[in-house]
Structure 1
Amino acid sequence: KSLAQSIFQVGGNGGSALGPLLAAIIVLPFGQHSISWFALAALLAALIMVRLGAWYKARLAYIAVHKQRNPTLNNDISKRAKYWALFILVMLVFSKYFYTSCITSYFTFFLIDKFGVSVQTSQLCLFVFLAAFAIGTVAGGMLGDKFGRKYVIWFSILGAAPFALAMPFANLAWTIIFTFLSGLIIASAFSSIVVYATDLMPDKVGLIAGIFFGLMFGLGGLGSAFFGWLADKTSIEFIFRVSALLPLLGIIAGFLPNTQKKK
């Protein structure tokens, strides 16, 4: 389940990773009007979704007739414990996407301001973080299926903290390395978070997925606006020091119950 979810997400993460790279090699040399050519990719995706929608409709009809109880899930979790676990997951999504919104929105400005690099170089450095994010998404899905989603969530958020805390104080080379490692580790959480949440409430898969994907995009936008406001009040370097504290919230993942039965 986690691997399937991560494969879905890596399309979006891969596209986001290519964004700064395409900006550096296409948009900057040829102008903003060249962005319109990328609409062809959206049209291709729409055509694929028409075919996929027909397949999924048939799949839903099959599941409605052939309902099966998942024998690998822990069904002894109380309703109160489930809601508490969902609250913890929301807090983890908040910490993850507030931190990543700071990186994706302001990392180029941070590099230009602190190290005096060119716009193209800063875009390439941002690509390093976003590429690590895409790789970490797939890796997190595989690890979640193998070792348990709770432990991947715990390691992913909290494990990024040392690199996030060290990054604002490093030189250029180590800044890129720490950014790559923090992106690689923190990206591994989301597919496990979504699947973990649907395991808690397997009869409300659509609702749970909608809530967490909505939080992903909503918190990312709010985080970008918040750190932009804070940067105007203080400095770009200051917001990176503040945002580096967010992955420490990963420690609360230890309170999550196990949704999977032990083999």
Structure 2
Amino acid sequence: MQVNVQRVAGVQTTVYHILIAISVGHLLNDSMQAVIPALFPILEKSMNLSYTEIGWIAFALNMTSSVMQPIVGYFTDKTPSPYFLPLGMAASLLGMCGLAFASSFLLVLLSVLLVGLGSAIFHPEGSRVAYLAAGAKRGFAQSIYQVGGNTGNALAPVFTALVFVPFGQFGAIWFTGVAAIGIVLLSVVSRWYSLRLTGAKALAKKKRNQKMHQKTLFALLLLIFLVFARSWYSAGIANYYQFYLIETYHLSIKEAQSYLFTFMLAGVIGTFFGGPLSDRIGKRNVILLSMLGASPFALVLPHLSLPWVLPIIFLAGFILSLSFSTLVIYAQELLPGKIGTASGLIVGLAFGMGAIGSVVLGKVADLYSLTFLMSACSFLPLLGLFTWMLPKDGELKQQ
């Protein structure tokens, strides 16, 4: 049985084709999530929405996935459910149909809730597949998996410029095809996953019986706080920076998307390099480097002349995203045998704090100004100073 457990858990072998497949599935899933912010400029004009109402749409999307992901993760840690992967994609398909035909703010919210639910169902089991296929390359595997999701999110400005500006809200109907492809792909991955459940369950049960130390609980709460700060900054850029560009530099909706896409693309590249870098220099060091390294660029971004915006926003996005996959790996090592719960807490609950940020930041923009909002957001990466209080990698393994 021990040999089987090692083989199933992927201790010795990295299963590259499964990593690539689950990464593509992640891309398709998060592409549909990206449709929501891509629609913001269109809905703001067609439905005369306030920034606060836009924040509520972002809240509906992110809060659904953030609240549900830890719950789904906790359930699937005890009862792994391979076919949750295509099921989540099916929920997003229904959400895309709803968005294409929604005629009111309420119907938009209901459609967005379906997309958020689909994401909540997909992510914990997707992260578990990446873990099982990783072998000894945990950082590398998590980066490959997260790069798929970040690439999907990065496409939001492209969707705005190429789909929703010319076709309007109805352009969401095209993404039902994306969901259909995802259902087929993830059904294949689910079959691979289901064949490996016996050994995976045995290993996970053994690890789950380990008690959580007080230091571990403190480290987990601190980790969630760090992701909270990172998420609020990302929410400010992803949801409101395009409006800041339009208002401050008098750009068109289409022109503003290139700057937002640069930030998102830099995030994809940073995510790809961050995981392998954590395998080399340590997870805690990468988290610290990421947040403090991005701070100078975040601080100057709201005060630049337009020619400087592209290179600075690229550097801010690249450095900040070095920690994206590393935060997930760190949480998984804090909670051995609870891969779904760890993924749900970081990718779901903690990153979903950006949902609350979207509403609060939208209210700040309405009450004060977009300039004030962007300046306030620029200080958030400085909270990365608290990374010093996290256990070092060597101490983490001893807990």
Q: Which runs of 5+ in 2 are unaligned?
A: 1-137
Partner of 2:145: 8
Pair 1:132-2:266 in alignment: yes
Partner of 2:326: 192
Partner of 1:218: 352
Partner of 1:25: 162
Q: Provide the TM-score with structure 1 as the length reference.
A: 0.91
Deviation for aligned residue 1:15: 1.3
Partner of 1:120: 254
Task: Answer whether contact 1:156 1:186 (CA < 8 A) is retained.
Answer: yes
**1:129-208 residue pairs with structure 2 within 5 A?**
129-208=263-342
Pair 1:43-2:177 in alignment: no
Q: Which runs of 5+ in 1 are unaligned?
A: none
Deviation for aligned residue 1:190: 2.1
Task: Answer whether contact 2:262 2:314 (CA < 8 A) is retained.
Answer: yes
- Aligned amino acid, residue 192 of structure 2: W
Q: How many residues align?
A: 257
Task: Answer whether contact 1:199 1:259 (CA < 8 A) is retained.
Answer: no
Pair 1:80-2:217 in alignment: no
Task: Answer whether contact 1:148 1:260 (CA < 8 A) is retained.
Answer: no
Pair 1:242-2:380 in alignment: no
Deviation for aligned residue 1:131: 0.6
**In 1, Cα distance between the equivalents of 2:392 and 2:378?**
28
Q: Deviations over 1:188-220 (max 9, x none)?
A: 112111111111221222211111122245212
Q: Provide the TM-score with structure 2 as the length reference.
A: 0.61
Deviating runs (4+, > 3 A) in structure 1? 64-70, 259-262
Deviation for aligned residue 1:78: 7.9
- Aligned amino acid, residue 194 of structure 2: K
- Aligned amino acid, residue 187 of structure 1: S
Q: CA RMSD in A?
A: 2.2
Indicate how the Cα distance of structure 1 residues 241 and 157 shifts in structure 2: closer, same or farther if over 3 A, else same: same
Deviation for aligned residue 1:65: 4.9
Task: Answer whether contact 2:291 2:381 (CA < 8 A) is retained.
Answer: yes
Instruction: Give the percent of matched residue pairs that are identical in Structure 1 and Structure 2.
Output: 38
**In 2, Cα distance between the equivalents of 1:217 and 1:85?**
17
- Aligned amino acid, residue 170 of structure 2: H
**In 1, Cα distance between the equivalents of 2:185 and 2:319?**
31
